[in-house]
Amino acid sequence: MSKKLGALDYHSSGRKGKIEVIATKPCQTAADLSLAYSPGVAEPCLAIQQNPDDAYKYTAKGNLVAVVSNGTAVLGLGNLGALAGKPVMEGKGVLFKRFADIDVFDIELNTENPDEIIKACQLLEPTFGGINLEDIKAPECFYIEETLKKTMNIPVFHDDQHGTAIISSAALLNALQLTGKKIEEIRIVVNGAGASANSCAKLAIALGVKPNNMIMCDTKGVIYKGRVEGMNPYKELFAADTPFRTLEEAAAGADVLFGLSAKGAFTPEMIRSMAPNPIIFAMANPDPEITPEEAHAVRGDVIMATGRSDYPNQVNNVLGFPFIFRGALDVRATAINEEMKLAAVHALAKLTREEVPDSVSKAYGNEKFTFGVNYIIPKPFDPRVLLHVAPAIAQAAMDTGVARQPIEDMAKYIEQLECSQGKSKEVMRMIINKAKSDPKKVVFPEGDNEKILRAAQTLVEEGIAQPILVGDKKKILQKMDELNLDLDVPIVDPTESEHTESYAQELYRRRQRKGLTLTECQRIMRRKSRVQFATMMVAQGHADTLLGGIDTHYPETIRPALQVLGKQAGLSSVHGLYMMVFKKEVYFLADTTVTIDPTAEELAETAILAAEKVAMLGIEPRIAMLSFSNFGSVDHPQTRKVKRAVELVKERAPGLIVEGEMQADTAVVPELLEGFTFSKLKTPANVLIFPDLNSGNICYKLLRRLGGAEAIGPILMGMNKPVHVLQRGDDVNDVVNMAAIAVVDVQNV
């Protein structure tokens, strides 16, 4: 799938757009309704009337930000208008929520009159705790923000200006440290005179750059004292007393080159003319003013940053605005002032110089990050950014007197921030990035299925796996054409493959005393079962793992795999593990998959294999063996079986945290668990082992359909070679996730 179609599909699939409103209080009964609305809602209304600050206590105002735009400067696309800018504003809301748990209403104003935008924002002040201005063109954006900051009593922040400035300034401080240059001695050239360039220049001066060493250029050349053409009051602030008149002249001998302009604005000749150890931040999107390859081809002492994620040192605004607003909201700041911006700069710069934890490396495919020329700014998925920037913002707000609710215990506040970071999506991203570090060959027996083809496109584009499609080659190619997919992957047609006969011979060797003739094996390989064919590819080493079942019933996929590959030596059965992803937590549910009523020995196997798999995914397993009894409260053959299974696990794997037999709510509710002081489980279990296939199957399907969990699985455990099964009805994302798990499974064989 082309990137264009992929983006359109992403936004249009399922519930349209990227955001929704979720109620935070129950409304299930008449009593709930009477509290949520009339008559109960009158009480907080009256309280707020008496004390307006109570709005932060009784409403969502304190965690609600308005993302306001008129669409006059949408990304690098220009004046698209308010409506066309809405996807960007929704996206901003996604990032606020994902990185700082801040709720957002996106507000697109259909006007280019700055005074109308100002009036609209002022009228909205009772609703919001803060306002993020976005994609409003210069110079109007300067006037709008300046006026709102003077007239409103909540923080107003134009991210296009200050976000880029904060991130690039942090990177600049670190680049200067690496080169040994002093900020008060450098000469910096800023190419561009719009919102971002204006703020970058201001912040660099605030950090110590001497004003006359700050040279700003626009499309007409250097902005110098006495220039008349194309000037405005905002450019006039940076008019330098300099003989330079062109960007080329200004770049010669410069220490730093900031690009906030357009593709190709920096030439190799400019780079060659700069001072030793030049710092070049080419931040135009989507294409930088000069690429790192082009710059490094000219000289080897360059330190580069761009706005792109496919190069080191990405200047990404997501490192700023979510955490800046988090800190500002948490102290009920009346503004985001210069001191708060500088605090964010220093917090980001300092964080970059700290040792990077393994969790961050895992999130980026096990790439190692160490402070240096290719790592001068943190990564967006570094969870420590929240813990560094938000407290720095809060502290600066308190220090400068704009905090209406100061934080009394900063250490406790940081702990609260840490607790707010969910583990759900991070787990899957970690798995995907681990898969990307060493992609494996995944064979899909249902190669003509639309979802499989779309997933294969994603797997290739993101480098997660090497898909192999099995099926009628003409049919698959026709389907690709219909879907407009540009997919270059191996297609294996069993009717034409050079291996079909050898596969048939091998299947006959394995199954000749189990009812199959050679003729039947040849028919199976050529036409009857693509699953059998794909399984034989894995058996013969022509693929690393198999992922199938989206078009078939579960037994139709697992039975051929068991017949051809078999289970691991020493195991009594094959087992299954589901990853259930909730908003804030991840649970793993395991059962025996093919054994309806397992023995204690089989349950013990399930627990040990599940623990190994969960640990492989980078999570410490805490195992609960489930029953309808709590530690002997009911004496029954079924409870005795689970009790025996627990004993076997403790004998065979004494290092595991495992308990049981226990009821499901005891395993996951801290208050109930606390009553059993003898239990090895001191915190809720994250791996739940079900006593039979019946209970496990019912539970994970209800959690998926009624409990709002994202179910990933089943992850098969105990096979001789990795094989995984999709569910009928799985979507493209499910296929991608399971493929990533399959690749990681192969990596750990």
The letter for the amino acid at 230 is G
> What phi, psi does 377 have (nearest 5°)?
-150, 145
Instruction: Find out whether 124 is annotated in a ligand binding site.
Output: no
> What phi, psi does 710 have (nearest 5°)?
-90, 115
Q: Using H for helix, E for strand and C for coil, what is the string for 609-675?
A: HHHHHHHHCCCCCEEEEECCCCCCCCCCHHHHHHHHHHHHHHHHCCCCEEEEEECHHHHHCHHHHCC
351 and 378 in contact (C-beta within 8 Å)? yes
CA distances from 312 to 292, 403, 431, 610 (A): 9, 36, 22, 37
Instruction: Find out whether 356 is annotated in a ligand binding site.
Output: no
- Residues 401 and 69: their CA atoms lie apart, in Å, by 29
Instruction: Find out whether 134 is annotated in a ligand binding site.
Output: yes
End-to-end C-alpha distance for the chain, whole angstroms: 32
- State whether residue 504 is helix, strand or coil: helix
Q: Which of 682, 610, 592, 603 is nearest to 648 (CA)?
A: 603
In what order do the strands lie in the sheet containing 545-548? Answer: 491-492, 466-470, 441-444, 545-548, 723-725
Instruction: Find out whether 737 is annotated in a ligand binding site.
Output: no
Instruction: Find out whether 327 is annotated in a ligand binding site.
Output: no
Calculated CA dihedral for residues 386, 387, 392, 395, nearest 10 degrees: 120
Residue reference for tokens 């920096």: 266
Instruction: Find out whether 88 is annotated in a ligand binding site.
Output: no
CB hemisphere CA count around 330 (13 angstroms): 27
Instruction: Find out whether 247 is annotated in a ligand binding site.
Output: no
Q: What is the DSSP string of 676-708?
A: -TT-S-SS--SEEE-SSHHHHHHHHHHHHHTS-
Catalytic residue among 86, 92, 441, 479: 92
Annotated active-site residue 92? The verdict is yes
- Residues 185 and 375: their CA atoms lie apart, in Å, by 23
Lookup: tokens for 601: 């020995």
Instruction: Find out whether 80 is annotated in a ligand binding site.
Output: yes
Instruction: Find out whether 160 is annotated in a ligand binding site.
Output: yes
Calculated CA dihedral for residues 216, 219, 223, 224, nearest 10 degrees: 130
Instruction: Find out whether 51 is annotated in a ligand binding site.
Output: no
Instruction: Find out whether 77 is annotated in a ligand binding site.
Output: yes
Instruction: For residue 303, give every residue at least 6 positions away whose Cβ sits within 8 Å of its Cβ, in sequence order, or none.
Output: 175, 178, 179, 277, 278, 279, 280, 313, 373, 376
Q: Containing H/E element for 158?
A: strand 156-158
Instruction: Find out whether 541 is annotated in a ligand binding site.
Output: no
CA distances from 29 to 45, 367, 608, 632 (A): 22, 51, 43, 37
- Residues 26 and 110: their CA atoms lie apart, in Å, by 36
- Residues 59 and 40: their CA atoms lie apart, in Å, by 14
- Which parts are annotated binding residues for a divalent metal cation? 134-135, 160, 285
Q: Which residues are annotated as a binding site?
A: 74-81, 134-135, 160, 285
Extract the annotated binding site for NADP(+): 74-81
The set of catalytic residues is: 92
